[in-house]
Amino acid sequence: MRHADEATAIPNDWHRVLFESSPNAILVTNPQTNIIISANPEACRLLAFTAADLCGLGIETVMDATDPRFMDGLDQRARSGAFRGELTCKRADGVCFPVDVSSSVFTSPSGHVLAGVFFKDISERRLLENKLHSMAAIVESATDAIIGGEVDGVVHSWNRSAEALYGY
């Protein structure tokens, strides 16, 4: 009985509330024409467009169509109904940034075939990954022996100089 009470407490327009409050950017498109039909507030914020300005634009206006992964993603979605990967978005001012994207085709309650494009800016993650790779390259190329370990003395990593010095 409790589940029935919870179900009746959910508003009829819960999908609109979810769309509007999502921390991820969401675009709804026509999968045949790739025209944007709707954009949530997070998509507008990330892309620096108003919802009114986004609606009617082609998806290639906000996704970098010169990135070969873009066409591959559209092809994959056309074949299988879904795509997930990393692409490059473009803001209204032309500035590009990396995004993690998932997209799927669905049929609306009114019978229209639509596509949802869900994405999240991964610029900060990329910066941290680049820093990590830079630090790893410094450690690996150092002529000093460098050993990484835990407070309890367990060694978890070492560079080539440490291998040469200690013979492991």
Residue 23 is predicted with a pLDDT of: 94
Report the pLDDT value the prediction gives residue 1, as an integer from 0 to 100: 47
Sign for the pseudo-dihedral over CA of 81, 86, 87, 88: positive
pLDDT of residue 11: 65
pLDDT for the residue 3: 54
pLDDT at 31 over 90: yes
Residue-wise pLDDT for 124-168, tens only, equals 888 777 777 777 777 677 777 777 778 887 877 777 777 777 776
Least confident interval from 5-14, 42-51, 81-90, 107-116 = 5-14
Tokens of 74: 């559209």
* Contacts of residue 159, Cβ cutoff 8 Å, sequence gap at least 6: 139, 140, 142, 145, 146
Comparing 4-8, 119-123, 126-130, the range with the smallest average pLDDT is: 4-8
Average pLDDT over residues 89-118: 95
Look up residue 57 and give its DSSP letter.
S
Torsion of the alpha carbons at 25, 123, 74 and 69, rounded to the nearest 10 = 180
57: phi then psi, degrees, rounded to nearest 5: -80, 155
How is residue 106 annotated by DSSP?
A: E
Query: Which of 89, 33, 31 minimizes the C-alpha distance to 64?
Result: 89
Per-residue pLDDT reduced to its tens digit, 35-78:
999 999 999 999 999 999 999 999 999 999 999 999 999 999 99
Question: Is there a contact between 27 and 36 (Cβ–Cβ < 8 Å)?
Answer: yes
Q: Could you tell me which residue, 138 or 120, shows the higher pLDDT?
A: 120
